[in-house]
Chain A
Amino acid sequence: MEINWLGLASAAATFFGVWLGHVSVRKIEREVTRIWIPATLTLFFGIGLELASFRTSNLILSTICGILGVTLLWDALELAVRQPKRIKHGHAPANPHNPRHVQILETHPNATTIDWLDRDPRGVPYSSAELTSMKERSA
């Protein structure tokens, strides 16, 4: 039986694309003040990879470029829209050293510097009193 490497290539590109997007979007959005710059670069890089996937006749290369390109296009949306929204809702920690985040902290009451997800599950929901006390303790 002949091994088909396309599946492994698509798996590697998918996992790497999702991991890179997940980690780098959080990191870049946290640090960069003018978020449109990395968002635009990501958008163009994604388009470039899609064009590369069109041009090559090699199926493995086309698969990798196609998957990474699409995930980068999604990352551009994450950087420009979805991650800032999470910061505003307090679902991701704001960076008090980033002027853009400072503005969000001032104008959105739910925005916080707490990383709520940096804990292990405990099996029962938190009460609103517990959440308030956790927020006060970190302030």
Chain B
Amino acid sequence: MNWFGLTVGIATLFIIGLGFIWVIRGERYFGYLWWPYVMGVGVSCVIGSLFISNHWGSVLLGALGASLLWGSTELKEQAVRGELGWYPFWEKKILPPFADVIKKWKAPSL
């Protein structure tokens, strides 16, 4: 019996679950315009996971990177949910550097 896959699966589910929390909280206080930065961190995590020799470290960093990548595509919809009143709306959002430029880009949504 190889328990590696199941334990990795459960750990990944936990990371995905954390993704729900940071997307909701992060969008509330920082806004959806942070998506390119979140995406960049996600890609960096996935690339970084290639260079970690420890199996668990590599797997968890890869899953975290994928979760960040996914979360970056969820921020736009979460912003709309906040505006619709489904989640608390925080007016004084901390905008990212180059927010005016990012505003012109189409935010990804899958």
Contact = CB atoms under 8 A, between A and B. Distances in A.
Tell me what chain B mostly uses at the interface: helix, strand, loop, or mixed: helix
Nearest to A134: B84
B40 interface: no
Given A7-B50, A9-B62, A121-B79, A55 B85 contact: no
Interface residues of A, number: 51
- Which interface class (under 10, 10 to 19, 20 to 34, 35 or more) fits B? 35 or more
B62 A6 contact: yes
A116 to B, nearest CB: 6
Contacts of B59: 6-7, 9-10, 63
Interface in A1-41: 1-15, 18-19, 22-23
Interface of B: 1-10, 12-13, 15-16, 32, 45-46, 48-53, 55, 58-63, 65-67, 69-70, 76-77, 79-86, 89, 107, 110
